[in-house]
A and B are shown apart, each in its own frame.
Chain A
Amino acid sequence: MDTFQTTLGQANIASIIIFFAFVVLTLGITYWAAKKTNTTTEFYAADRSISGLKNGWALAGDYMSAASFLGIAGMVALKGYDGLIYSIGFLVGWPLVMFLIAEPLRNLGKFTFADVVAFRLQQKPVRIASSIGSILTIVFYLIAQMVGAGSLITILFGLPYEAAVIIVGLVMIAYVLFGGMLATTWVQIIKAILLISGATFLVILTLAQFNFNPVTLFNQAAEKYSDAVLSPGGFVTNPWDAISLGLALILGTAGLPHILMRFFTVPDAKQARKSVFVATGLIGYFYILTFIIGFGAMVLVGQDIISGIDKGGNMAALLLSESVGGQMFLGFIAAVAFATILAVVAGLTLSGASTLSHDLYVSVFKKGKSDEAGEVKVAKIATLAIGILAILLGLLFKGQNVAFTVGLAFAIASSANFPSLVLSILWKKFTTKGAVASIITGASMAVILIIFSPTVWVDILKNEEAIFPLKNPALFSMVASFVVGVVVSLLTPEEEAQNKFEDEKLRTYLGIGAE
């Protein structure tokens, strides 16, 4: 087993053909979607024509990034059980999205989650504040995705980093610019189908070597390394750290703008709820697969080889596919990983563009008075802007350690976006000033505390000791955001907002008047 040789890093013909086929197919869909993308509702929300089942697959596609596929499989391969802790945190946010947010969001909103936060408050200040939360979340998420794309493709295809970043950027811009939400949705669905079937097939091939008995696999892992791989280890040493990270993962999911935006693509609240059920099932199944893939790589490839190629273990799933399925299968999985990044970046870009055009340009700059054609044009310009920004971020952060930006994106989403959204849906006395204060507190505390945390202050800035002890700031920044939101609201009562809360109940609960 230790003589395992990999072809990773050389151009793989199968991989190039499959990836090329994916790009041609998705661009074909974009061409078809472009004809149906003229109005704002079509551009931002696919004319609300996506069924709950399809939206569930698309949500799963938006959420299952290459980081969660390659990253978690790698973490399991190197650390064993501890990798599971991340998966669980990423999954548990979904039921909360369903219980608290999906349906009122669908009933009250139009294109962005800021529609819901600002629904009964003063548009201008709330839109500006929530745009800051959205854009920060999207930018930090984009940095991680683009840098990941560049490095991954360099390893997979032997392509130069810059070329990889620019290809991803251009193809993704084409999807969003011409095909809007309809094309983006289909890209997510196809990517999710490829990723889930690829991972399933990889697990079948892996388990075939263990008489289709996962227990045999776990036993061999324990025998090859030690029993420690099957129980929690050093990942969680400080319980406060664990709770803080847990909060960021689960409540951050409920505050990701590109995920929330997907709920406006379904016709009604019933389909919104169905889509979360489908997405939760798919994502949960996928995480169980990555767990088995991680252990498979640990036993069949070996930790030394995995960490020899990439310290973080990111290549574990790919090495395993080559080990059990040969070069053809490696090519397939590699192409799927590439497609995965492309799809996630497209979703992020569309959501960033909708924030710039719908929340800022139309609702703030034009005070809500904009014609359809004008808004679509602005949305397309915003798409280009965010797309180019994504490419520049990818080039700028080349070779940097950007793993913390995903954690930061989740911290901001849970601290800036989630509290204002949930308070606006559930709490009658929430006010404009309360919302703005809550968002600004959450966003700034998340950013400042993460700079002072061990993740950046020690690991990246190379200081001896961190000023803020926790690796993830959510425990403080999110709680502060809620407290500030509630206190400021109580100090600045807003009668109109309270009256509107009552009036909107038919829309919130019955969907009457929903767009």
Chain B
Amino acid sequence: MSIKSEDVKNIISSEKFKKLVRMRTTVSLSLTIIMLSVYFGFILLIAFNKEFLATKIGEHVTIGLPIGMGVIVFAWILTGIYIRWANNKYDNSVKEFRNQILNK
């Protein structure tokens, strides 16, 4: 099926489509920045404040253990948050556009 190039231009320049692109960019970049901050925050702690990570929270266990494993779990949770957003909000908008374009 061919889509008229005029329709394509109209959709791409429509406010609604621009909003979708903006929303996606905002979500992707914010999550990226959150992930990088948490990771490099951890690395900087290791580089500059080893003593803090060596703080004992049990007989021998240090706070560094839950923090380190926490970064791993956090990374996965972040992908979960993204997938929830994408499967609901983003995909619904995409479906609307697709119906509008492909059913013409």
**Are B64 and A230 within 8 A (Cβ)?**
yes
B3 interface neighbour in A85, A284, A512, Cβ under 8 Å: A512
- Distance, CA A281 to CA B73, complexed state (A): 8
Within 8 A of A (CB), among B37-70: 39-40, 42-44, 46-48, 50, 53-54, 56, 58-62, 64-65, 68-69
Q: Are A277 and B64 in contact (CB under 8 A)?
A: no
The reply to whether A270 and B87 form a contact with Cβ atoms under 8 Å apart is yes
Interface pair B47/A242, CB less than 8 Å apart: yes
* Chain B residues near A243 (CB-CB < 8 A): 40, 43, 47
Q: In the complex the two chains form, is B72's CB within 8 Å of A87's CB?
A: yes
In the complex the two chains form, what is the Cα distance from A277 to B81 in whole Å? 10
Chain B residues whose CB sits within 8 angstroms of the CB of A503 once the complex forms: 8, 12
Q: How far apart sit A223 and B60, CA to CA, in the bound complex (Å)?
A: 8
Could you tell me if A88 and B79 are in contact, using CB atoms closer than 8 angstroms?
A: no
- Can you spell out 9 A-B residue pairs with CB atoms less than 8 angstroms apart? A85-B43, A94-B75, A230-B60, A243-B43, A243-B47, A250-B39, A276-B79, A506-B3, A506-B11
Q: Give residues of chain B (1-43) contacting chain A, Cβ–Cβ below 8 Å.
A: 3, 8, 11-12, 17, 20-21, 24-25, 27-29, 31-32, 35-36, 39-40, 42-43
Q: Which parts of A14-50 form the interface with B (CB within 8 Å)?
A: none
Q: What is the total number of residues of chain A having a CB less than 8 Å from a CB of chain B?
A: 54
Is the pair A95, B64 in contact by a Cβ cutoff of 8 Å? no
Interface residues of B (CB under 8 A from A): 3, 8, 11-12, 17, 20-21, 24-25, 27-29, 31-32, 35-36, 39-40, 42-44, 46-48, 50, 53-54, 56, 58-62, 64-65, 68-69, 71-73, 75-76, 78-80, 82-83, 86-87, 91, 94, 97-98, 101-102
A281-320 contact mask (Cβ, 8 Å, vs B): 1 or 0: 1001001100100000000000000000000000000000
A92 at the interface (CB under 8 A from B): yes
Rounded to whole Å, the gap between the CB of B19 and the closest CB of chain A is 11
Q: Is the CB of A219 within 8 A of B46?
A: no
Tell me the complex Cα distance, A236–B48, Å.
10
Contact B28 A100, beta carbon cutoff 8 Å: yes
Bits for A84-123, please: 1 = Cβ < 8 Å to B, else 0: 1101110110111011100100000000000000000000
Q: A430 near B: Cβ within 8 Å?
A: no
Would you call A280 an interface residue if the criterion is a C-beta within 8 Å of the partner chain's C-beta atoms?
yes
Least CB distance from A437 to B in Å reads 25
Given known pairs A84-B68, A243-B40, the reply for A505 and B12 (CB within 8 Å) is yes
Residue of A nearest to B35 (CB): A95
Residues of B within 8 A of A372 (CB): none
- Beta-carbon contact of A281 and B21 below 8 Å: no
Measured between alpha carbons, how far is A487 from B97 in the docked complex, in Å? 36
Residue A410, interface by CB 8 Å: no
A215 in contact (CB, < 8 A): yes
The reply to whether B39 and A88 form a contact with Cβ atoms under 8 Å apart is: yes
User: Is the pair A277, B79 in contact by a Cβ cutoff of 8 Å?
Assistant: yes
CB-CB under 8 A from B44, the residues of chain A are 239
CB distance from A258 to the nearest CB of B (A): 20
| Minimum C-beta distance from B41 to chain A (A) | 11
For A512, list chain B residues within 8 Å (CB): 3, 98, 101-102
Do residues A218 and B83 form an inter-chain contact, with CB atoms below 8 A? no
* Residue pair B72, A231 in contact (C-beta under 8 Å): no
Given A96-B32, A276-B79, A512-B98, is A88 in contact with B72 using a C-beta cutoff of 8 Å? yes
Q: Verify B79–A231 contact, CB threshold 8 A.
A: no
Measured CB to CB, the closest approach of chain B to A15, in angstroms, equals 30
| A contact residues around B97 at 8 Å (CB) | 510
A246 and B64 contacting across the interface, CB-CB below 8 Å: no
Contact assessment for A280 and B75 in the assembled complex, using a CB-CB cutoff below 8 Å: yes
Interface flag for A141 (CB, 8 Å): no
| Cα(A222)–Cα(B73), bound, Å | 24
Contact A218 B12 (CB under 8 A): no
The complex places the Cα of A80 from the Cα of B3 at a distance, in Å, of 59
Residues in chain A near residue B60, CB distance under 8 A: 218-219, 221-223, 227, 230
Most B Cβ at <10 Å: residue of A88, A277, A502: A88
Would A277 and B83 be within 8 Å (CB), given that A99-B32, A284-B72, A288-B69 are in contact?
yes
Asked whether, in the complex, the Cβ of A81 is within 8 Å of the Cβ of B73, the reply is: no
Among candidates A218, A239, A246, A284, residue contacting B75 with C-beta atoms closer than 8 Å = A284
* Interchain CB contact under 8 A, A95 and B79: yes
Chain B residues whose CB sits within 8 angstroms of the CB of A511 once the complex forms: 94, 98
A284 near B64: Cβ-Cβ < 8 Å: no
Given A215-B61, A503-B12, 11 other A-B residues pairs in contact with their CB atoms under 8 A: A99-B82, A219-B58, A223-B60, A230-B54, A230-B65, A238-B47, A242-B46, A246-B39, A280-B76, A284-B75, A509-B94
* Complex Cα–Cα for A263 and B22 (A): 24
* Docked-complex contact A92 and B79, CB < 8 angstroms: no
10 closest A-B pairs by CB: A239-B47, A231-B54, A222-B60, A99-B28, A84-B68, A284-B72, A92-B39, A232-B46, A230-B62, A219-B60
| A270, B62: Cα distance in complex, Å | 40
* Whole-angstrom distance between the Cβ of B44 and the nearest chain A Cβ: 7
A433 lies within 8 A of chain B by Cβ? no
Contact present for A273 and B39 (CB under 8 Å): no
Residue A262 lies at the interface, judged by CB distance under 8 Å to chain B: no
Return the contact of A242 from the options B43, B68, B91 (Cβ within 8 A): B43
Chain A residues positioned under 8 Å from B31 (CB to CB): 95, 99
Which residues of the partner chain A approach B79 to less than 8 Å between Cβ atoms?
94-95, 98, 276-277, 280-281
Q: Residue of A at shortest CB range from B98?
A: A510
A246–B43 touching, CB < 8 Å = yes
Decide if A232 touches B64 in the complex (CB within 8 Å): yes
Residue of A whose beta carbon sits closest to that of B30: A99
Task: Give the complex CA separation of A227 and B31 in angstroms.
Answer: 35
Query: B46: which of A85, A274, A284 is its contact (CB, 8 Å)?
Result: A85
